[in-house]
Amino acid sequence: MTTTSNDSLTIADGHAHVVATTRKDLLDWVAEIARLTKPMNIQWCDGSLSERQDLIALMVESETLIPLNGELRPNSFLARSNPDDVARVEGRTFICSESEKDAGPTNNWHDPDDMRSTLSGLFTESMRGRTMYVIPFLMGPVGSPVTRVGVEITDSPYVVVSMGTMTRMGRIALDVIESGADWVKAVHSVGAPLEAGEADVAWPCNSTKYISHFPESREIWSFGSAYGGNALLGKKSFALRIASAMARDEGWLAEHMMLVRITSPEGQVAHIAAAFPSACGKTNFAMMQPTLPGWTVETLGDDIVWMWIDENGLLRALNPEAGFFGVAPGTSEATNPVAIQTLWGNTIFTNVALTDNGDVWWEGLTKEKPAHLTDWTGKSWSPESGTPAAHPNSRFTVAIDQCPTAAPEWSDPRGVVVDAIIFGGRRSHTMPLVTEARSWAHGVYLGATMASERTAAAEGTLGELRRDPFAMAPFTGYNVGDHWAHWLSIGERLRVSGRFPRIFHVNWFRRGDDGQFLWPGFGDNIRVVKWMMERLQGTVGGVVSPVGTLPKLGDLDLHGLDMDVADANAILSVDGADIESDAVDAQTLLTTIGATVPDEVWSENAETIELCS
């Protein structure tokens, strides 16, 4: 349906994208945003292949997308962003709850009225000269108790096509709205109106950026960026920030986790959800190729998991997304062959390098750097250039369907029963390879205090330890202490069935005295998962430590690994003094959060310190 942007929405007949809704609230809102932003025209997105193809053709023409060599990378495209628009901008991301306390000290709070007036200034006529797209989308499959609906309005065709991959978009979502569902409002503008006759640029954006969330009214307003989580509003903005607030109110969980199914050679099956901060190999874990014979890992999700307690008191989980928006650099045949296979075609790459024969390249893809490339900024590049050819946060956008290890249940509305939850971080010292939490409350403590050393790709000083509670620091849409209390309340409700997922903490990144990584990681992480599955079955014991139960050295399957006993001992070692000082360090976070920190979290901190003496 194409409409003109005057006060009443008139349907221009004969357009290929006719989508009708009888929901007056939706029609009124679209009209209201059109009155504010004054687009040239309005297009309702139906999610069809022809619509996608039309938009891609439009973007090829405007040079937003560069077609890749169809023989090497069928139906795939490269987008180069504005160099000032290359990542999520946490400093420009706001939680505008009525009360500052509800945002908590880990979020940027902004007064909602004040923010609304700033936004209404910014969005006034912000879509002039552009098409305003209306994108109804689902987070989750049709028919699941946790599936939620959103409508994103955007003036970026790149966002439409990306949302088409990342969510269930178009007619399917509109049908759910038609049936009476509530929907979340998400407004996005690149903030680059076009004057009459003005030529467009390949990546319109604005140096002023606002990614604003109104948790009470369940609204998202994003201005100035077209990149990733800033603009694909189903992802971090809805599925984590707004959904976490919904989940708190409604008794479920919206978490920054990946989800996999593991099957042992004997046929034992476990579903594992795992939270890692960015740059800790979450996607590699989600697509792991196990090195132990007979084991399989199937992928259910790589970034976001929604969990709820079913009628039998079991914790169930599903991935609300439909695609991967993964970091390209470091992805290779060696580190993640499944991702490489997934990217065979039908992929949009953003900010990677272009090879001379029209394919893509990024740092780490091959051992040998190509002799010549066009870098992510469009400049000629050679290994001597001394700059990265691909941006460190360059990305691929691809449908989960293309992943050869995707479990068919990834889109099952019933989700899967969670057997284990893993927290982890990148720690050179202190935390051992793996421990199992003493209890649900201790598991919540491990999640609350989890930390990771900053890598080059993250904001901040290299190597500095950043506490990232539940890997949700930039994503919890409410007070972080209340998030911990919510996890504890889920534990209380699991008491009814007594079926608690077991909680583990892992650290693939511990280094030896020589500074080298002690653990090979990647496909060998299955060895750690194997121990977890034996714990679930109750066939192995463990060693009690202040950070939970450690494997006995002999229980960890190290067959075929080139690892000496000293290193194996080192990676499982827990030094009381180190753990104690880490627990004392964690108190800084708890004190900063203040009154909302549940007593149980303080008692677990005290217990950790006590166990060190």
Binding site for Mn ion (CB under 5 A): 303
Q: Does 229 bind ligand OXD (CB under 6 A)?
A: yes
Give the residue closest to Mn ion by C-beta.
303
Give the residue closest to ligand OXD by C-beta.
278
Least separation in angstroms between residue 586's CB and ligand OXD is: 22
Least separation in angstroms between residue 93's CB and ligand OXD is: 12
- Catalytic: 280? yes
Whether 486 and 469 have beta carbons less than 8 Å apart is answered as no
Q: Does 278 bind ligand OXD (CB under 6 A)?
A: yes
Least separation in angstroms between residue 303's CB and ligand OXD is: 5
Binders in 334-373 for ligand OXD, by CB under 6 A? none
Binders in 285-314 for ligand OXD, by CB under 6 A? 303
Least separation in angstroms between residue 229's CB and ligand OXD is: 6
* 496 Cβ neighbours under 8 A, 6+ residues apart: 313
Q: Which does 507 bind (CB under 5 to 8 A by kind): Mn ion, ligand OXD, none?
A: none
CB atoms under 10 Å from CB of 401, counted, come to 13
Least separation in angstroms between residue 260's CB and ligand OXD is: 16
Q: Per DSSP, what are the bridge partners of residue 47?
A: none
Q: Does 112 bind ligand OXD (CB under 6 A)?
A: no
Q: How far from chain centre, in Å, is Cα 522?
A: 20
Q: Are strands 168-169 and 543-545 parallel, antiparallel or unpaired?
A: unpaired
**How many residues sit close enough to ligand OXD to count as binding (CB under 6 A)?**
3
Looking at the Cβ atoms of 26 and 231, the one nearer to Mn ion is 231
Looking at the Cβ atoms of 43 and 278, the one nearer to ligand OXD is 278
SS (H, E, C) 185-230: EEEEECCCCCCCCCCCCCCCCCCCCEEEEECCCCEEEEECCCCHHH
Looking at the Cβ atoms of 303 and 604, the one nearer to ligand OXD is 303
Q: Which does 229 bind (CB under 5 to 8 A by kind): Mn ion, ligand OXD, none?
A: ligand OXD
Looking at the Cβ atoms of 280 and 407, the one nearer to Mn ion is 280
Whether 551 and 540 have beta carbons less than 8 Å apart is answered as yes
Looking at the Cβ atoms of 303 and 604, the one nearer to Mn ion is 303
Q: What distance in Å separates the CA atoms of residue 126 and residue 122, rounded to the nearest whole number?
A: 7
CB atoms under 10 Å from CB of 564, counted, come to 10
Whether 321 and 301 have beta carbons less than 8 Å apart is answered as yes
Q: Does 283 bind ligand OXD (CB under 6 A)?
A: no
Q: What distance in Å separates the CA atoms of residue 559 and residue 54, rounded to the nearest whole number?
A: 54
Active-site option among 205, 280, 403, 612: 280
Least separation in angstroms between residue 228's CB and ligand OXD is: 6
Q: What distance in Å separates the CA atoms of residue 233 and residue 453, rounded to the nearest whole number?
A: 28
Looking at the Cβ atoms of 302 and 482, the one nearer to ligand OXD is 302
CA angle centred on 506, ends 504 and 511, rounded to 5°: 160
Q: What distance in Å separates the CA atoms of residue 169 and residue 175, rounded to the nearest whole number?
A: 11
Q: Does 432 bind ligand OXD (CB under 6 A)?
A: no
The residue with tokens 């201005």 is 223
Q: Which two tokens stand for residue 208?
A: 């002023």
Catalytically active residues, by annotation: 280
Binding site for ligand OXD (CB under 6 A): 229, 278, 303
